[in-house]
Structure 1
Amino acid sequence: MQPRLHLRCGDDLRVPLQRAGIAGEYLCFSDPVCQGPARDEGDLMAWLGLRARFVALHAGQDVGAVRLRLGREYTALSALHRHDAVWLWFEHDLWDQAALIRVLSLLAEKRLLRGRLWLLPADGVRCFPELSDVELGRLQPAPLTELQIEQAAEAWAAYSAPDPTALDALSRRELALPFLGAALRRHLRDLPWTTDGLAETERLVLRAVAEGVTDEAGLLRALRTADAVFHQTDLILRDVVGRLRLGPRRLLHQAEPLGLTPRGAAVLAGRERHRPPPRSEGGVSVLPDPPWLYDPARAGVVRGAEPGERRT
């Protein structure tokens, strides 16, 4: 049996864990499943191709190299039973919770892992890398329960489905994973809203720009202050800003510094409605006339336009 393994959705704890004297091997799961297409039909090869194309475009990397890296990481998940314990370092935010349910959906049927999966306690506020070495060393993991693993697999099936109603219903339940419900609700808020067609992240970007933010660094600081559940990265914000700059009816000026167009100001004020360019939010397709919308009055999803129908 191999020693303990630390599983994390990033490399940011590799050195801090060593510095804190926490022994064990380290596995980085780098697939940012909170972003881009995540429709999962159960075919791992098709999944890896789908995700590699998105990640390569998202990060400006070679698609072949990304495919090899993701393939190694997903393959490594199938060998976790060789370790006497697997410690899962996943925080409260959407990035980590989406990665956690993806990982656990792949491990749910692996009976050899029962009793070997341990979840580290997040405080719901800070990221693990923000903790001191002493604080990291004091953390005590708790064994994952059967219910937690089952609910994670259920959540992933709903997250990757083209119809978000099951995910909406799941997010309202009392869940055994303490931060999952809030993260799923934040994910659903990035569907276009019934009120203005904007996703939550898009609205936060426009609001920050309207309040005087003019560059990417300031935008990143503003959104991290405004949004405790979805920790934005520079690449995520670059994607969001890029799509808000698309087309003749763009909401942000194409040139630097950041600034609202007259249409962007009108949409933010609720005088006009945004028609989003095509993208994916998990398993859900977002279109200019979205088939699914988030309704803030109901705090949940509702049906939008039928295929071929245009909303007015």
Structure 2
Amino acid sequence: MLHIVNGDSVAKKLRQGLVPDDILVWREVYPHGPVFEEPAAVDHRKKRARYLERTLGIPRSEYIMISETQDKTLAGYSQYKEVVLWFEHDLFDQAMLCYLLHWFSKQFLSQTKLSLLSIGEFPGIEPFRGLGQLTPEQLQSLSGTWKSVSPEAMELGSALWQAYSSSEPDKLQKLLSEDTSALPFAQEAFKAHLSRFPSVRNGLGCVEQMTLELVETGINSPGELFGHVSGRLHILGIGDLQYWHILKKLSQGPYPLLSIRGMDGFPAYDAPTASFVHGEIALTAFGRSVLAEEADRAAKQGIDEWYGGVHVQGKQPRWRWDTVRQTLYETAEA
């Protein structure tokens, strides 16, 4: 059997004799940077590698090497009697799951069985954030509980990936209005993705909005902020490097929303910053006006971010999230 998991912590525990099989850790951060329907295409991979190097510090050559290696392992699926996908309920995992379902939908599985273990809770674990919280014994209790991937789940996963990687996010929104019960955690995860787009009220996505609200309450250290934001928005499965990128963007530019004192830079991949934990964060005057919905971050500061396959740019972003109606719409001004 081949087990495909989302992180090294889960893989390490499974390797402690829990599953006598091969394990592939799928290393990707699909909620960050440009995403393409066929990410293995050379031009697509290079573009994504450049972006991840620039924003997260992941060396371009290392990203490409890891991607090619895991693709090679995936391509050898036919040597296994069964492939089991272990993925959680948050956006980080659901995006991975949907990509893999999209990939497998194009393969001839023949004698290989494709199975899925996907949970959003576990007895005694509150709040449940993911499989990494579980002990080896708890993980072992899940062994064999996976179910065969149904044709409906395969089709839905592929459709969700195509919509997520599309430059037209209304395709995803339309898909989410239909029956998504074949993948029970996809609805909430991908709707949370849409809430990351700049809002109609002040140009902030849900992560930026939560950050400013927490700073206003007095939470002013980077570590504390990340803990609170990642906890309250656990449905996103946001990682620390992703969050530092967002925090950096909020504190830079001609119209910063946050000021940060007492630190000499932001951590990056394999490059921790010793003074970072001692930084002190405060709202700027502009940050307070945006939080009060008296100013618009996007209109004043401009935006240059990727949300799945959508590149949102400029001071009049084409797509905005309506926090009241919980819907994404195309602006007339763009």
Determine if the TM-score, normalized by the shorter chain, exceeds 0.5. yes
Higher mean C-alpha displacement, 160-169 vs 103-112:
103-112
Identify which of 224, 228, 236 aligns with 1:230: 236
The answer as to whether partners of 1:216 and 1:234 remain within 8 angstroms in 2 is no
- 1:161 aligned residue: 166
Q: Distance in 2 between matches of 1:108 and 1:295?
A: 34
Q: Which amino acid aligns with 1:285?
A: H
Contiguous gaps of at least 5 residues in structure 2? 122-127, 262-278
Q: Which amino acid aligns with 1:231?
A: G
Identify which of 139, 145, 148 aligns with 1:143: 148
1:101 Cα deviation (Å)? 0.8
Higher mean C-alpha displacement, 197-206 vs 70-79:
70-79
Tell me, yes or no, if structure 1 residue 126 matches structure 2 residue 153.
Answer: no
Q: SS of the counterpart of 2:94?
A: helix
**Structure 1 ranges of 4+ moved more than 3 A:** 39-43
The within-5 A match list for 1:1-312 is 4-19=1-16, 21-40=18-37, 44-112=41-109, 116-124=113-121, 125-139=128-142, 140-175=145-180, 176-255=182-261, 256-275=279-298, 276-287=302-313, 288-304=315-331, 306-307=333-334
Distance verdict in 2 for CA 1:289–1:148, change over 3 Å: same
Q: Distance in 2 between matches of 1:149 and 1:295?
A: 31
- What RMSD, in angstroms, separates the aligned Cα atoms of the two structures? 1.8
Q: Distance in 2 between matches of 1:286 and 1:121?
A: 31
Contiguous gaps of at least 5 residues in structure 1? 308-312
Q: Distance in 2 between matches of 1:117 and 1:39?
A: 24
Q: Which amino acid aligns with 2:324?
A: A
- 1:310 aligned residue: none
The answer as to whether partners of 2:33 and 2:51 remain within 8 angstroms in 1 is yes
The answer as to whether partners of 1:267 and 1:273 remain within 8 angstroms in 2 is yes
The answer as to whether partners of 1:93 and 1:228 remain within 8 angstroms in 2 is yes
Higher mean C-alpha displacement, 64-73 vs 152-161:
64-73
Q: SS of the counterpart of 1:112?
A: coil
Distance verdict in 2 for CA 1:302–1:141, change over 3 Å: same
Higher mean C-alpha displacement, 60-69 vs 259-268:
60-69
Q: Distance in 2 between matches of 1:305 and 1:285?
A: 17
Distance verdict in 2 for CA 1:225–1:31, change over 3 Å: closer
1:20 Cα deviation (Å)? 5.8
Number of residue-to-residue matches in the alignment: 304
Q: Which amino acid aligns with 1:198?
A: L
Q: Distance in 1 between matches of 2:250 and 2:166?
A: 26
Q: SS of the counterpart of 1:195?
A: coil
TM-score, normalization: structure 1? 0.92
The answer as to whether partners of 1:93 and 1:231 remain within 8 angstroms in 2 is yes
Q: Distance in 1 between matches of 2:192 and 2:4?
A: 24
Q: Distance in 2 between matches of 1:42 and 1:10?
A: 20
TM-score, normalization: structure 2? 0.86
Q: Which amino acid aligns with 2:252?
A: L
Distance verdict in 2 for CA 1:160–1:184, change over 3 Å: same
Identity, % of aligned pairs? Answer: 27
Q: Distance in 2 between matches of 1:10 and 1:41?
A: 22
Could you list the per-position Cα deviations for residues 273-305 of structure 1 after superposition, in whole angstroms to 9, with x for gaps in the alignment?
A: 111421111111212311111112321111125
Q: Distance in 1 between matches of 2:111 and 2:192?
A: 30
Q: Distance in 2 between matches of 1:20 and 1:174?
A: 39
Higher mean C-alpha displacement, 156-165 vs 220-229:
220-229
Q: Which amino acid aligns with 2:156?
A: Q
Distance verdict in 2 for CA 1:290–1:92, change over 3 Å: same
Q: Distance in 2 between matches of 1:238 and 1:14?
A: 26
Q: SS of the counterpart of 1:280?
A: strand
Q: Which amino acid aligns with 2:282?
A: G
